[in-house]
Amino acid sequence: MRDLYILLMVGVLVVSTSTKLSIGQTGHQDLIKIISNSSLQNLNVGMIVPHKNFGAREYNKTINNLIYNLYKDHARTKKSKFSFLDKYWLQVNHRMMKLTPSPTAILDSLCKEFLSVNVSAILYLMNYEQYGRSTASAQYFLQLAGYLGIPVIAWNADNSGLERRASQSSLQLQLAPSLEHQTAAMLSILERYKWHQFSVVTSQIAGHDDFIQAVRERISDMQDTFKFTILSAILVTDPHDLQELVNSESRVMLLYSTREEAIHILTAAREYKITGENYVWVVTQSVIENLQTPSQFPVGMLGVHFDTSSKSLVSEITTAIKVYAYGVEDFVNDPKNKNRSLNTQLSCEGAGEARWSTGDLFFKYLKNVSVEGDQGKPNVEFTQDGVLKAAELKIMNLRPGVSKQLVWEERRKFL
């Protein structure tokens, strides 16, 4: 018997000579019925993911497995969560994008690959943490999508570097922990140890003004339960800028910068003798990044962290598609939208609409979804600003390891 298994998966014929799929006969017949139903309308969603060698196979596998299971469960269950699958043929059109794509490449991805197939939303998942040109590229892409009226469901590790006003005014949902989540976690550390006074130190990293503002807003929210005093807020462009920190006599510092910038700042801080057992530095994800530990980082440093590995990003593909599916379900089943279409009909050539008129309305349905979280985790829900209502962060402590090399050690989780 030839080792050939043909799987019809969401409008795509996938032929595999090495992978065996085992499904029940009834489920298979139900899928064939769905596939043979020519009345189904195409429902397209775009997806941007990081470029990596041999990444296409992993992305395709994740997408196909998820959508296949959606249709299989729908065919087998009388009370399906997604009745829109009776009407629509869900297709995910994904493109891998490099770290710093040119404006032309970004426009091409929108015009030639997404608008041409009438995507009703774009899933933007990136785990780059450079906070420079890559963040600017992300900002440009998200703003263009907003101008076109296309909702974006994003998970980007460097989202703290995005302009808050631009993000909140666009049609964007953010699945990654935000700057506000990070500042809340950092101040929870201070509250836990009864540290009322502290200073804020930033580099010129994208979002540094927003970080200071987020700290002030969180302090205001907590003022009835815990009093904080900011002794100084310092923007470091030169090592001598830390003299102000010395003069403030602050013993606790919140640091927001890139990891490379943190190396220079903390090297200068050691020379000024404001590191060591009498001082505490609490840092953001942008400093910790992928848990590497430069020797210049002082022992005892605390920080907040979330996983930005490729494995974590791939798992977020499932979450993003589920958010989209729940939004479509609510939109399609609302009688008020009977005559509205999720077919955008946009064009960069002037032949179609310049902005999707239904995009703002569809975004409201996406923003109001409640997707069941993984075991032990809260449901995926969003605030009116499009950020997660609850995000999990790890509180990390820099300690000497077995070989005396510094390691980040998880102390507890913050929700």
CATH number at residue 323: 3.40.50.2300
Say if 388 falls within a structural domain.
Answer: no
Question: Residue 349 has what pLDDT?
Answer: 77
Rounded percentage of the chain residues whose pLDDT exceeds 90: 56
Given a cut of 50, is residue 170 above it in pLDDT? yes
Question: Residue 133 has what pLDDT?
Answer: 60
Say if 373 falls within a structural domain.
Answer: no
Structure token digits, residue 402: 């077995």
Q: What is the pLDDT of residues 354-397, one digit of tens each?
A: 899 999 999 999 999 999 887 778 899 999 999 999 999 999 99
Q: What is the mean pLDDT of the chain?
A: 85
Q: Which one-letter amino acid corresponds to residue 243? A: Q
Of 130 and 269, more confident: 269
Q: Which of 101-105, 143-147, 197-201, 398-402 has the highest mean pLDDT?
A: 197-201
Given a cut of 50, is residue 80 above it in pLDDT? yes
* 398 and 253 fall within a common domain: yes
Question: Residue 294 has what pLDDT?
Answer: 86
Q: How confident is the model at residue 2 (pLDDT cuts 50, 70, 90)?
A: very low
48, 49, 52, 56: CA torsion to nearest 10? -80
Question: Residue 187 has what pLDDT?
Answer: 97
Given a cut of 90, is residue 177 above it in pLDDT? yes
Overall average pLDDT of the 41-54 stretch:
89
Half-sphere exposure of 161 (CA within 13 A, CB side): 26
Lowest mean pLDDT among 134-138, 206-210, 303-307, 317-321: 134-138
Given a cut of 50, is residue 399 above it in pLDDT? yes
399: helix, coil or strand? strand
Question: Residue 12 has what pLDDT?
Answer: 35
* 271 and 126 fall within a common domain: no
Instruction: Give CA–CA dist 334/382, Å, rounded.
Output: 20
Q: How confident is the model at residue 24 (pLDDT cuts 50, 70, 90)?
A: very low
CA distances, 180 to each of 22, 147, 318, 390 (Å): 45, 25, 24, 11
Structure token digits, residue 68: 């296949």
Question: Residue 295 has what pLDDT?
Answer: 87
Q: How confident is the model at residue 11 (pLDDT cuts 50, 70, 90)?
A: very low
Say if 163 falls within a structural domain.
Answer: yes
* 199 and 256 fall within a common domain: yes
Overall average pLDDT of the 397-410 stretch:
87
Q: How confident is the model at residue 17 (pLDDT cuts 50, 70, 90)?
A: very low
* 143 and 94 fall within a common domain: yes
* 65 and 153 fall within a common domain: yes
Question: Residue 380 has what pLDDT?
Answer: 95
Question: Residue 38 has what pLDDT?
Answer: 53
Question: Residue 134 has what pLDDT?
Answer: 60
Q: State which residues form the domain around 347.
A: 40-177+309-367
Q: What is the pLDDT of residues 322-343, one digit of tens each?
A: 999 999 999 999 999 999 999 9
Task: Give me the number of domains the chain comprises.
Answer: 2
Q: Which residues contact 236 (CB under 8 A, 6 or more apart)?
A: 201, 202, 203, 242, 257, 261, 265
* 273 and 323 fall within a common domain: no
Half-sphere exposure of 285 (CA within 13 A, CB side): 30
H helix runs in 249-334, sequence order: 259-271, 285-288, 310-332
Q: What is the pLDDT of residues 113-135, one digit of tens each?
A: 899 899 999 999 988 777 666 67
* 134 and 166 fall within a common domain: yes
* 254 and 274 fall within a common domain: yes
Of 366 and 11, more confident: 366
Q: Is 202 left (phi over 0), alpha (psi -120 to 50) or beta?
A: beta
Say if 379 falls within a structural domain.
Answer: no
Lowest mean pLDDT among 93-97, 104-108, 115-119: 104-108
20 near 14, Cβ under 8 Å?
no
* 97 and 135 fall within a common domain: yes
* 172 and 194 fall within a common domain: no
* 295 and 328 fall within a common domain: no
Half-sphere exposure of 195 (CA within 13 A, CB side): 21
Question: Residue 384 has what pLDDT?
Answer: 92
98 near 58, Cβ under 8 Å?
no
Which H/E stretch holds residue 142? helix 133-148
Say if 54 falls within a structural domain.
Answer: yes
Question: Residue 333 has what pLDDT?
Answer: 95
* 280 and 408 fall within a common domain: yes
Given a cut of 60, is residue 266 above it in pLDDT? yes
408 near 303, Cβ under 8 Å?
yes
Say if 380 falls within a structural domain.
Answer: no
Say if 10 falls within a structural domain.
Answer: no
Say if 374 falls within a structural domain.
Answer: no
